């Protein structure tokens, strides 16, 4: 009896130990299940973000990156606006809570964002015909707009050729068919306004046409006010849906009202536009993901109904936006003194970019280049569309360790007083 009892107890003990071993997460002690990830291939590097990863791995001491669209001071360092630092201190001392925002975000931020771009004196804004929501910077607002429009019957969106590299991905993933209209004349490094108008005139009624409000990315080439006026007329005649992407207000020219002139013109001309704003560049809030998505309705009730549909897209996508960046913008724009300081700081960033355009052009000419580089100073905003081919870009990267995007787009924020000559010599070497 005792032997049988002992044997049973031993077997139970062994069984328990075996079960415990099966639960030990060591591959050497168990066989893994069939992997559901085995067919996953390594995705290609993002053409912009991936560029920074390549740059970080380069140990060349004189390497330069002029690819990523984030402002740097004249020493090549990240720059936080002093007005934003003051706003941070105010918020810290206020002891703000960390509760969820509503689906539409911070209401006061949205109000101030709309005043900033449409103008405090906008009749449409005063009438309540302009309504909006807080967005995850420009990128999030673009995606919400694309999905909302697809859900309500839109099928096609037209982008300028070229456009920001992420535009096509965002709207394709939103379920829209993305087509292009002519925008840039690469042979002459200028705006192809005639081709642009011709293509817009051929768009089917009800199509969405995306316009860069200012500082076109990547070309830096904007229509004149007279050309904007003609575009307003043509787009209205074609019965198109106008969607502005406003990522550089105040950062382009240093004057926020001037940079919003096209948007305000279209609203005054009677367009029922929609628009996305980003506060990454002008406020330097890159990592805070602060933006707004808005619509101009025929009346206040219509605008509110559209916003309600934006919220139905937001809720299952990310539920609600983060609050800190929106609170920073609100704190600045609510305070007249901080607003004045912000405007000066924003102008200071724009002025440095403008100065670096002249420095790079002069350096190219001093390096002996006989090419016409006037487009560098004719363009505006964060980027210079250099005209370098992809082959020249890769050669410059390999020989000189100067990193710009494959289409030759140069972030002027990465050009400094110390490296302008080095960049110019690299460009000249691969383009002569």
Closest to 146 measured CA to CA, from 179, 180, 171, 177? 171
Torsional sign, CA 116, 117, 122, 125: negative
Q: Which of 86, 164, 199, 228 is catalytic?
A: 164
**Would you give the distance in Å from CA 409 to the centre of its chain?**
15
H/E run at residue 35:
none
The SS3 call for residue 160 is strand
Catalytic-residue membership of 373: no
Joined tokens for residue 89: 């201190």
Report which of 392, 348, 430, 405 is spatially closest to residue 219, judged by C-alpha positions: 405
**283 CB neighbour count, 10 Å cutoff:** 25
Catalytic residue at 228? no
Burial 320-332 (b: 16+ CB within 10 A, else e): bbbbebbbbbbbb
| Angle of CA points 190, 192, 194, to nearest 5° | 145
CA dihedral of 246, 250, 254, 260, whole degrees rounded to 10: 60
Among the listed residues 86, 281, 373, 407, the single catalytic one is 281
Provide the β-strand partners of residue 182.
161
**Is 164 in the active site?**
yes
**3-state DSSP helix/strand/coil percent for the chain, to nearest 5?**
50, 15, 35
Q: How far apart are the first and last CA of the chain?
A: 99
Kindly name the residue from 192, 222, 245, 407 that is annotated as catalytic: 245
Question: How many angstroms separate the CA atoms of 381 and 129, rounded?
Answer: 30
Active site residues: 164, 245, 281
């Amino acid at each position: 009896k005792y032997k049988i009892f002992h044997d049973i107890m031993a077997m139970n003990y062994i069984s328990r130990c075996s079960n415990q071993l099966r639960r030990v997460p060591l591959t050497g002690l168990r066989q893994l299940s069939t992997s559901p990830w085995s067919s996953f291939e390594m995705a290609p590097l993002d053409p912009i973000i991936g560029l920074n990863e390549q740059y970080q791995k380069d140990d060349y001491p004189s390497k330069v990156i002029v690819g990523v669209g984030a402002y740097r001071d004249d020493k090549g360092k990240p720059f936080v606006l002093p007005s934003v630092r003051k706003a941070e201190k105010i918020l810290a001392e206020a002891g703000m809570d960390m509760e969820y925002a509503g689906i539409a975000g911070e209401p006061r931020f949205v109000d101030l964002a709309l005043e900033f771009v449409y103008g405090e004196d906008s009749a449409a804004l005063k009438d309540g015909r302009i309504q909006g929501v807080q967005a995850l910077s420009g990128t999030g607002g673009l995606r919400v707009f694309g999905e909302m429009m697809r859900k309500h019957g839109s099928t096609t969106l037209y982008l300028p050729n070229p456009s920001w590299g992420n535009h096509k991905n965002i709207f394709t993933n939103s379920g829209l068919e993305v087509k292009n209209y002519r925008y840039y004349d690469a042979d002459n490094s200028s705006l192809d306004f005639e081709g642009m108008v011709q293509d817009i005139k051929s768009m089917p009624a009800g199509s969405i046409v995306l316009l860069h409000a200012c500082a076109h990315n990547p070309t830096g080439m904007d229509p004149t006010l007279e050309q904007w006026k003609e575009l307003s007329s043509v787009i209205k005649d074609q019965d198109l849906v106008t969607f502005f992407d406003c990522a550089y207000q105040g950062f382009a020219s240093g004057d926020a009202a001037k940079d919003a002139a096209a948007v305000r013109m279209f609203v005054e001309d009677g367009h029922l536009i929609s628009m996305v704003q980003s506060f990454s560049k002008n406020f330097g809030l890159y990592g805070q993901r602060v933006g707004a998505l808005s619509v101009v309705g025929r009346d206040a009730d219509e605008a509110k109904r559209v916003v309600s549909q934006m919220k139905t897209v937001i809720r299952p996508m990310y539920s609600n936006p983060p609050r800190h960046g929106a609170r920073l913008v609100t704190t600045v724009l609510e305070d007249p003194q901080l607003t004045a300081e912000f405007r000066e700081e924003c102008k200071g960033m724009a002025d440095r970019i403008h100065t670096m355009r002249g420095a790079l052009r002069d350096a190219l000419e001093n390096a002996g280049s006989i090419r016409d580089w006037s487009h560098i100073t004719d363009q505006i905003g964060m980027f210079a569309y250099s005209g370098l081919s992809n082959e020249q870009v890769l050669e410059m990267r390999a020989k000189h360790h100067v990193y710009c995007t494959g289409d030759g787009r140069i972030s002027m924020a990465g050009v400094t007083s110390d490296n302008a000559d080095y960049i110019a010599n690299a460009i000249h070497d691969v383009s002569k």
